[in-house]
Chains A and B, each alone.
Chain A
Amino acid sequence: MKYFNLIWAALFRRKTRTLFTLLSVMAAFLLFGLLNSVREAFSSAGHSVAGASRLITISKVSFTMELPQSLYMRIQSVPGVGKATYANWFGGVYQDPKNFFANEAVPPGFFDVYTDFELPTAARHAFATTRTGAVVGASLAKRFHWKIGDKIPLQATIFPQKDGSNTWTFDLVGIYHIANPRERQQEDALFFNWKYFDEARQFGNGKVGWYITKVAQPKDADRVAQAIDAMSANSDHETKTQSEDAFQAAFVSQFADIGLIVGSIMGAVFFTLVLLTGNTMAQAVRERVPELAILKTIGFSNRSVLLLVLAESVLLLAIGGAVGLALAELAVSVIRTQIGAQIPMVPVGLTIWLQGLALMAFIGLLVGVLPARRGMRLRIVDALAGR
């Protein structure tokens, strides 16, 4: 630590060059933070804490096929099932298809299974007793400036009402919050009363889209899933039950291989970054050869010189990288509040910071090692003579 001033002075010996290099490093780590935030949002869709103890039961044919509602009682009687509920995808459009958000018909018991959706008791009661009641997530309410008591009209894309009308109007009776910031994208959804939905829709009555089961003991999940599927084996509505995590991971993987895309971009970014910072460090050491020789003359060991140069290079990466990641953190929080769930992103948290710091140290050492060895190996006599 006592050499910090020395390293600092060496780093800013050429202010412009160091500044430009820092800005390049910053740009690379800004991108690293942003892309990782997107990647984690997609991969964490399959790794939530609550999602591990919930099972999703869909039609074995395809999740776009519906299942009979009569299964509900039978699923609840399966040993090991804590609470069960169900939902129908409604796919309604608010004003413009561009305003996309999830909207589903669910029974009041839905919130006993999704306990991570924090809905005040009064609102839960109102949802259970209001025929046309609906609840929305806090961030969705914010996006459209909705408040409790508002009427929300949705245009049906799948389910017209009995009279053929496509307009469904709901009364907003509650707003739920999700405490975990990583799962807050689930606040961009609207849930309304299944009973009203089933009575008023033109077709498909008595069928539900999928069942969600909370198992009493997470270790029983596999056994319960098999028991649920066994009930419908060889019927005309065979089911497929899997954990919510597995279901979401499979769904996300159908969109795109986000990991591959992000990985390829990052590969290109860091390949150029290594070359760029490596060049800077090589230049920095090349023009300082006489100075390094003087350090050696006054008693610095070869090892100290090696470490000084390595430290300089790691410091270069660490400063630029930290600023870049801090900017990414800021940018992600701005994007999340402004755009909402359109682009799934998680906040730049501890994981991304740790990955980033490790990467900074690794690249710093990688690009520093050749110049540092050069500094370590130079012979005082030759270096001072300018040979």
Chain B
Amino acid sequence: MRKFGIVLAIVAAAIVPVIALVTLPAWAILVGIALLGAWLALTRTGRQAWSATAVGIATIPQRLGSSSVVVVGIAGVVGVLIALLAMAEGFRSTLQQTGSDDTAIVLRAGSQTEINSVVDSDTIHVVAEEPQVMRDARGRQIASPEIVVDASIPKKGSTLDTNVEIRGVGEQVWELHPRLRIIAGRRFTPGLRELIVGKNAAREFANTSIGSKLELNGEPWIVVGEFDSGDAHDSELWADTNVVATTYHRGNSTSSVTVRLTSARLFDAFKAAITSNPQLKLQVQTTSTYYNAQSEGLTKIIRILGTTVAVIMAIGAIFGALNTMYAAIATRTREIATLRAIGFRGVPVVVSVLIETLLLAILGGAVGAGIAWALFDNYTASTLGANFSQVVFEFRVTPALLAAGLKWALAIGFLGGLFPALRAARMPVTDGLREL
């Protein structure tokens, strides 16, 4: 019972450094490592600890099988964690880049997404006439009335239909997307049934390359160009909004109006002008708010899922590390007892076992992070977005995620090494020397 109490006390005490490891920023951990290095190099106890560690590390090749349990176990946790978080990060950043603070999107009040929204032609004019809307060199308002409809197109190599977003855009749309470039072919001609395809859509969906003929709502269309906007629009096909309206019998109404403001600071005034007009039932958001909101739900679910899976895997990895390190000190009983007999104190022994475990853990973390990076950085996936249509995105293995993975590795290594380290230090010297 007393023994159990001690274990509990150690676990409770260990929680603090683990939380510190996971929450501290990377630089703080680097400083900690530097301090540890200084201690090892400069103080007497530190040098003792270092030489004990060196002996331990030198014997690792004799225990290759069991040491690899720590490395592979932790590599598994870190790899899965980073891969899942990279999926969340990729989806989030794709949608985040789609919006900006100086463009605003106007939808019917309550509609949340463009596919649910209807804005009539009178409203479009009222919105575009607001003084906060920027004008181009020829004095025309930079406003794009846009229609969002879904078309059923299978993915390449599949027969299952997926929903692909067709976006009808106004003449001024190019002024709203300064980063957008036509990378092949040409822009669509206003008034004609011509489409340009985003680069992700062209890559993922069948029959969307330049020259392809598509049937939209029974009418023949042709793809004439391919564009790269570097954001979620790359999953869409664009065409003249008026022609899309005709094809889909939408009359003069559209789904939304997007405008460029003369300055991001004028957004509040623009919003106030529209929402205070009793004749308009509209909602106004900056496009960055609009697109960020679309990524929130899914990003949160993937993050929770990834963390849960990683925590359960980490529990398994901690017990694996415990086994390995207990076995490691058991096989080194005589060495450790000898060290103690020739005057090494408890602290260097504890520290040496901990450092050995942490080194194995860091190696595992690096392997896991490396595999996740090699396999999943820029890995392309797609999911159903807010407009019931496919959003193509790429996994992003960012430096921050790699750092988070290594922190998890350190935390697991710390928990897995602490108890064996304490046992090594408390081992009775005489028994240890007698051990065969």
A and B assemble together: yes
> Is A96 positioned at the interface, with any CB of B under 8 Å from its CB?
no
> Is B38 positioned at the interface, with any CB of A under 8 Å from its CB?
no
One of B68, B109, B163, B319 near A254 (C-beta < 8 A): B163
Can you name the residue of chain A whose Cβ is closest to the Cβ of B79?
Answer: A268
B320 adjacent to A30 (CB under 8 Å): no
Shortest Cβ gap from B140 to chain A (Å): 30
A23 adjacent to B315 (CB under 8 Å): yes
> Is A135 positioned at the interface, with any CB of B under 8 Å from its CB?
no
- Bound Cα distance from A38 to B90, whole angstroms: 23
Contacts of A283 in B (CB 8 A): 66, 327
Asked if A271 meets B76 with Cβ closer than 8 Å, knowing A61-B152, A62-B149, A236-B218, the reply is yes
B384 adjacent to A254 (CB under 8 Å): yes
Contacts of A160 in B (CB 8 A): 108, 110, 281
B72 adjacent to A158 (CB under 8 Å): no
> Is B151 positioned at the interface, with any CB of A under 8 Å from its CB?
yes
A268 adjacent to B80 (CB under 8 Å): yes
A254 adjacent to B315 (CB under 8 Å): no
Shortest Cβ gap from A378 to chain B (Å): 19
One of B72, B151, B320, B381 near A61 (C-beta < 8 A): B151
Contacts of A60 in B (CB 8 A): 152
- Bound Cα distance from A249 to B161, whole angstroms: 11
> Is A27 positioned at the interface, with any CB of B under 8 Å from its CB?
yes
Question: For chains A and B in complex, what number of residue pairs have CB atoms within 8 angstroms?
Answer: 138
Shortest Cβ gap from B250 to chain A (Å): 11
> Is A97 positioned at the interface, with any CB of B under 8 Å from its CB?
yes
One of A203, A240, A271 near B72 (C-beta < 8 A): A271
Can you name the residue of chain A whose Cβ is closest to the Cβ of B160?
Answer: A250
- Bound Cα distance from A283 to B315, whole angstroms: 21
Interface residue stretch chosen among A14-22, A69-77, A289-297: A14-22
Contacts of A238 in B (CB 8 A): 218
- Bound Cα distance from A62 to B389, whole angstroms: 10
Annotate A180-197 by CB proximity to B: 1 below 8 A, 0 otherwise.
000000000000000000
- Bound Cα distance from A164 to B110, whole angstroms: 11
B110 adjacent to A155 (CB under 8 Å): yes
One of B66, B115, B313 near A64 (C-beta < 8 A): B115
One of B84, B110, B113, B217 near A156 (C-beta < 8 A): B110
A276 adjacent to B69 (CB under 8 Å): yes
One of B75, B110, B319 near A157 (C-beta < 8 A): B110
One of B115, B216, B384 near A255 (C-beta < 8 A): B384
- Bound Cα distance from A272 to B320, whole angstroms: 9
B323 adjacent to A254 (CB under 8 Å): no
Q: A27-B313, A268-B80, A273-B316 are in contact. List 16 more A-B contacts (CB 8 A).
A: A17-B327, A20-B323, A21-B323, A61-B150, A61-B218, A62-B163, A64-B163, A156-B110, A157-B112, A157-B116, A254-B384, A256-B383, A276-B73, A276-B320, A283-B327, A343-B301
Could you name 9 residue pairs across A and B whose Cβ atoms are closer than 8 Å? A28-B313, A31-B313, A61-B217, A63-B163, A93-B112, A155-B110, A256-B381, A279-B65, A279-B323
Please report A residues at the B interface, Cβ cutoff 8 Å.
Answer: 16-17, 20-21, 23-25, 27-28, 30-31, 34-35, 60-65, 91, 93, 97, 155-158, 160, 164, 166, 203, 236, 238, 240, 249-250, 253-257, 264-265, 268-269, 271-273, 275-276, 279-280, 282-283, 343
Please report B residues at the A interface, Cβ cutoff 8 Å.
Answer: 65-66, 68-69, 72-73, 75-76, 79-80, 83-84, 108-113, 115-116, 118, 149-152, 160-163, 216-218, 249, 281, 301, 309, 312-313, 315-317, 319-320, 322-324, 326-327, 381, 383-384, 388, 390
A-B interface, 9 closest residue pairs, ranked by CB to CB distance from nearest: A27-B316, A62-B150, A272-B76, A166-B110, A20-B319, A24-B316, A158-B116, A276-B320, A24-B319
